[in-house]
């Protein structure tokens, strides 16, 4: 099921035709206008947001969860509220119609169908959303399991251990030995961000980051020097985006198990001997 079917009995034109002969002046505006408003609210829901079949990464699944929550809050809840209002108006009008003689059976039947349709719609949307969330939770668990297995690859684990040791060693040198030059290359992918620090950075170090960041796409590389400034590990490069700071802090925490205060800034690099490793 790709969406929730809108009950035919809730179509304003259908209800209007069935009640045309029944005390037209007595029709409650809230019911007529409510049916029109309810249809607009339904049409505003993008049911594709609930589709979990094409999710390929943990990041995609988490983003999908956020989109589902937003759609539920901004689109589905207003529809459910409007539906209940319409249902209440329909029940009240049926009670009024039954007081007339002869009873306008067609109008009563159509309005009762509205009340029933409202219940069907609200129940259908609730069930649809619950199913989508359950499928999302299952898919997210599958993706996390797959990611964990990938991380457990002995080769990847070995590369990470090597990278962790090198990064920790170089960060200590950056803070305690300002006379020693420490260069960096940072690889930023669609999921992860990973730095390498050392006296030299080039194709070999870039290959190491590629191995550690398997499963990422759209990789970008940033080069420069790491210095200790204002009690922060500062990554200085010719073209370093400010958005890199948060991702670097998070990746260093994940990689080393420790927090490191990080800054990034653009600046001139005296020597360009690391340029041979750039693309």
Provide the residue ranges of all domains of the chain, joining segments of one domain with +: 8-151, 154-277
For 111-160, write each residue's pLDDT tens digit: 999 999 999 999 999 999 899 989 999 888 888 777 766 655 667 778 88
Mean pLDDT, the chain, rounded, equals: 86
> Looking at the predicted structure, is the pLDDT value of residue 250 above 70?
yes
| Mean pLDDT for the stretch of residues 176-202 | 92
CA–CA separation, 125 and 82 (whole Å): 13
Kind and range of the H or E run holding 265: strand 262-266
How would you classify residue 21: left for phi > 0, otherwise alpha for psi between -120 and 50, otherwise beta? alpha
CA–CA separation, 108 and 90 (whole Å): 9
State residue 272's pLDDT score: 41
Angle (nearest 5°) at CA 62 between 185 and 60: 65
| Mean pLDDT for the stretch of residues 256-271 | 80
CA–CA separation, 249 and 246 (whole Å): 5
DSSP state of 31: H
| Mean pLDDT for the stretch of residues 81-97 | 92
Share of the chain above pLDDT 90, in %: 48
> Looking at the predicted structure, is the pLDDT value of residue 277 above 80?
no
For 205-249, write each residue's pLDDT tens digit: 888 898 888 878 889 999 999 999 989 999 999 888 888 898 999
- What are the Cα distances from residue 130, in Å, to 134, 135, 161? 6, 9, 42
> Looking at the predicted structure, is the pLDDT value of residue 274 above 60?
no
State residue 142's pLDDT score: 85
Q: How many CB atoms lie within 10 A of CB 51?
A: 15
> Looking at the predicted structure, is the pLDDT value of residue 21 above 80?
no
């Amino acid at each position: 099921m790709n969406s929730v079917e809108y009950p035919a009995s809730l179509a304003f034109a259908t209800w209007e035709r069935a009640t045309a002969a029944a005390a037209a002046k007595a029709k409650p505006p809230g019911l007529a206008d409510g049916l029109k408003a309810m249809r607009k609210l339904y049409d505003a829901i993008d049911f594709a947001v609930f589709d979990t079949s094409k999710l390929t990464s943990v990041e995609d699944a988490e983003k999908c969860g956020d989109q589902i929550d937003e759609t539920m809050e901004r689109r589905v809840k207003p529809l459910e509220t409007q539906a209940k209002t319409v249902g209440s108006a329909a029940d009240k009008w049926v009670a009024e119609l039954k007081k007339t003689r002869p009873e306008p059976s067609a109008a009563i039947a159509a309005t009762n169908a509205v009340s029933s349709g409202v219940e069907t719609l609200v129940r259908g949307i609730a069930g649809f959303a619950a199913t989508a969330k359950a499928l999302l939770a299952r898919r997210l668990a599958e993706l996390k399991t797959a990611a964990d297995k990938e991380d457990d690859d002995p080769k990847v684990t070995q590369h990470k251990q090597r990278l962790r040791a090198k990064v920790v060693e170089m960060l200590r040198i950056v803070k305690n030995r300002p006379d020693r030059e420490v260069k960096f290359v940072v690889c930023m992918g669609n999921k992860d961000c990973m730095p390498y620090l050392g006296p030299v950075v080039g194709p070999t170090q870039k290959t190491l980051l590629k191995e550690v960041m398997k499963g990422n796409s759209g990789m970008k590389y940033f080069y420069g020097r790491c210095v200790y400034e204002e009690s922060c590990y500062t990554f200085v490069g010719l073209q370093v985006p400010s958005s890199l700071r948060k991702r670097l802090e998070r990746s260093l925490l994940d990689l080393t198990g420790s927090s490191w205060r990080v800054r990034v800034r653009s600046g001139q690099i005296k020597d360009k001997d690391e340029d041979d490793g750039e693309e």
